A and B are shown apart, each in its own frame.
Chain A
Amino acid sequence: MKVLLTGNEAVARGAFEAGVTYASAYPGTPSTEILENMADYKEHMIAEWAPNEKVALETVIGASMAGARTIAAMKHVGVNVAADPLFTIGYTGITGGLVLVSADDPGCHSSQNEQDNRYYAKFAKIAMVEASDSQESKDYVKAAFEISEKFDVPVLFRMTTRVCHSKGLVELSERVPFEVIPYKKQPQKFIAAPAHAKMLHPIVEDKLVRMEAFSNETPLNRIEWGSKKIGIVTSGVAYNYAKEVFGDDASYLKLGFTFPLPMDKIRAFANEVETLYVIEELEPFIEEQMKVAGIPCIGKEKIPRIGELNPDIVAKALLGIERETVHPDASKIVGRPPTLCAGCPHRGFFFSLSKKKNVVITGDIGCYTLGSAEPLNATDSVICMGASISMGHGAKKAFEINNVDKRVVSVIGDSTFFHTGINSLIHVAYNRGNTVSVILDNRITGMTGHQENPGTGYTLQGDPANIIDIPQLVKSIGIEHVVSVNPLKLAEMDKALEDAFAYDGPSVIITRWPCVLKNFTEADLKEFDLSKKQCVVIEDKCKGCRVCTKTGCPAISFDNTTKKAKIDKYMCVGCEVCLQACPFKAIERAGE
């Protein structure tokens, strides 16, 4: 049976068919749906959200040591978080097949950088498999488990946004249960103490030699002969762009097993063709290794190393072909940046905070990154998960010792706090930092599309779980000034900020209100007044001062002819932030 699947859905299906019984991940675009789809196979496997990627990979290492087939999935920058265990399991190897999916994001569609994680395979000395479409995503995941067990090595399964989020037809197969490998205590393998590590290193080097021999033979690295005037070495989604542009006018060495590279096969292919191109997205990972091996080729001097490729870019770079296009009048194009939703609880917080003077605001990764955008313009920095609290601490300490008078507020979401922010806050508490850390608890992992986290009360597979009590947690690590507020009540929010500024020592404010897009739980409905409301502008009272538009609410517009504000009744959910912001009481609750 053939079905239309995204690459992510296909990976989940492949893991299911391969007999996986344990999977873990931390959500991150473009990887999130891999684990979400595995959660549906509840009868056959356990799928769990971890608080961060390091934990996800470590649980999977444990499951592998226990003899099961197991998979972890994360976005490219998540692998940075999980890098510590990754490098060492390169040495120890595995028991049950272990696959780590790295979903890279060329073009930074939803990421802070576009790092090329293929280098992790070379760096950590582990095998790497790359799929170019949904069918391969499913088939190659199954192959990856076999490779993992054959060579006693974790496999990096590298995907990119266009493989993860494109749909293609996939032929499904039955699940073949994987019989768990009987547990055996193996201290010389799994205790990576220096004496053992020294013994493991030569074994790893030997595995690399054997894996390169495999790479030269495996059908995952296949040649498609066409015209021999042009030869193309390619992998991942770039293969499709090459086929689209060159069709039968070139021959292809399509690589699916990309570390170690099949250098003999590449050399033999190179000898058969007149001009040899390497078409790969982002870095010259394949090209560099070919050149070191003495195989001349044309790669990054023609193909951009920045951003995503597409058929057009390839055609222009290698053939100088540019398609005719129709150009609109450029004045008709107006930007459409993403915004916080109407009714988003982050808006009340950022609106209050943005009015404070002499404040440095260190931000974090989540929807609330949008607090940095017009018209709120609040945030000063966003680097990586959890950095808001630690960067704020370092900045404040540096300001203090250098006699610079600045206040520092660190802003982080609930899931990001559980991810790594909690470690940073321990640092602040123990070293008596003088920052205000604000935890935006919207009762869910928002930006990636509503995943459960240790604060929500449910596991990924729908079982009830104990909720971490953030105020209690924060107090127990040594923060004495802790306040919980409703961020949609501006006076309350403002007072919480002023009190925290006045306090000498580390303080935490927890803003607690659910994401407006969330499917509310019974607990949410009990705790919060989530009844449908709406706000309207009383035209006679509106003076056209535009303060309400400074909240950045997408439901509010300003009519330049009447000079009055207007609220879209379809979008407004009655959060009342604009109502409180209006200095002329010109906004009221509808029907009152």
Chain B
Amino acid sequence: MSEVKNILLCGVGGQGIILASKILATGLIKAGYDVKMSEVHGMAQRGGSVTTQVRYGEKVYSPIIGKGQADVLVSFETMETPRWLDFVKPDGKVVINAYEIPSATILSGAADYPQGVIEDISSKINTTVFKAAELAEALGNIKTMNVIIVGALVKAMGLEEIVDWNEVIAETVKGKFVDVNVKAFNVGIAQVK
């Protein structure tokens, strides 16, 4: 338990990244880890690029990491991945939710949505790609995309056995959304081999 592990989650304001981090952190605490987590609030949330960091181990000091330090980068949106890639250890993992949200720069026609992002990253580092949006729609609730991603992340980090995650989800999401989010979490687990 002594080595501190670092998870970096990135995406776009409004994608539910903070809730995803909260589920993850709650599970880690229940499993007995010291946890630190960092978020960014304020203007950055208005459709901007958003990250949270979750660090866990026996004793965690810094709430944030620097470049080359993340064990896993979980990207909720395709083109956010390269923006944060240099935070990952060269032998770390990248989990990408293949989902495109064009930024204002692209919408205004000043740039095109970048092509070949996933190919570029897959050629450089251990990468898992899946489409949480399609899986969430199949579950009948597009908003469960974030919890599907948490499931995939938990599997990628080998954390699926540390606690009863269904219980963690029941504690962290609102009552009527528990069932669908538990399903979503398990769909996410199944995405990572």
Q: Count of chain A residues with Cβ under 8 Å from any Cβ of B?
A: 66
Q: Which residue of A lies closest to B73 (CB)?
A: A326
Residue in B43, B49, B90 whose beta carbon sits within 8 Å of that of A336 in the complex = B49
* B67 CB contacts on chain A under 8 angstroms: 312, 323, 325
Residue in A110, A166, A311, A557 whose beta carbon sits within 8 Å of that of B107 in the complex = A557
B124 within 8 A of A: yes
* B106 CB contacts on chain A under 8 angstroms: 334, 557
Q: Which residue of A lies closest to B103 (CB)?
A: A336
B85–A29 touching, CB < 8 Å: no
Give residues of chain B (116-133) contacting chain A, Cβ–Cβ below 8 Å: 116-117, 120-121, 124-125
Q: Which residue of B lies closest to A549 (CB)?
A: B108
Residue in B82, B108, B110 whose beta carbon sits within 8 Å of that of A328 in the complex = B82
* A337 CB contacts on chain B under 8 angstroms: 48, 103-105
A166–B47 touching, CB < 8 Å: no
CA–CA, A546 and B109, complex, Å: 9
* B108 CB contacts on chain A under 8 angstroms: 374-375, 549-550, 552
Residue in A312, A336, A370 whose beta carbon sits within 8 Å of that of B105 in the complex = A336
Q: Count of chain B residues with Cβ under 8 Å from any Cβ of A?
A: 62
A580 within 8 A of B: no
| Given A326-B90, A549-B108, A549-B109, A133-B37 contact (CB < 8 Å) | no
Q: Mark B12-35, 1 if CB is under 8 A from A, else 0.
A: 110000000000011001000011
CA–CA, A325 and B68, complex, Å: 5
CA–CA, A166 and B62, complex, Å: 9
* A318 CB to nearest chain B CB (Å): 13
Residue in B35, B48, B49 whose beta carbon sits within 8 Å of that of A168 in the complex = B35
A325–B90 touching, CB < 8 Å: yes
Q: Which residue of A lies closest to B108 (CB)?
A: A375
Give residues of chain B (37-93) contacting chain A, Cβ–Cβ below 8 Å: 37-49, 60-69, 79-83, 85-90
B112 within 8 A of A: yes
Residue in B41, B62, B105, B112 whose beta carbon sits within 8 Å of that of A560 in the complex = B112
24 contacts between A and B (CB under 8 A): A29-B43, A161-B40, A167-B38, A312-B65, A312-B68, A315-B66, A323-B66, A323-B89, A324-B90, A325-B67, A325-B68, A325-B85, A326-B86, A326-B90, A328-B81, A333-B83, A334-B103, A334-B113, A336-B79, A373-B104, A374-B110, A447-B43, A549-B107, A554-B107
Which A residues are within 8 Å of any B CB, using their own CB? 2, 4, 6, 29-30, 32, 109-110, 133, 161-162, 165-169, 237, 239-241, 243-244, 310-313, 315, 322-329, 331-341, 367, 369-370, 373-375, 447-449, 546, 549-550, 552-554, 556-558, 560, 570
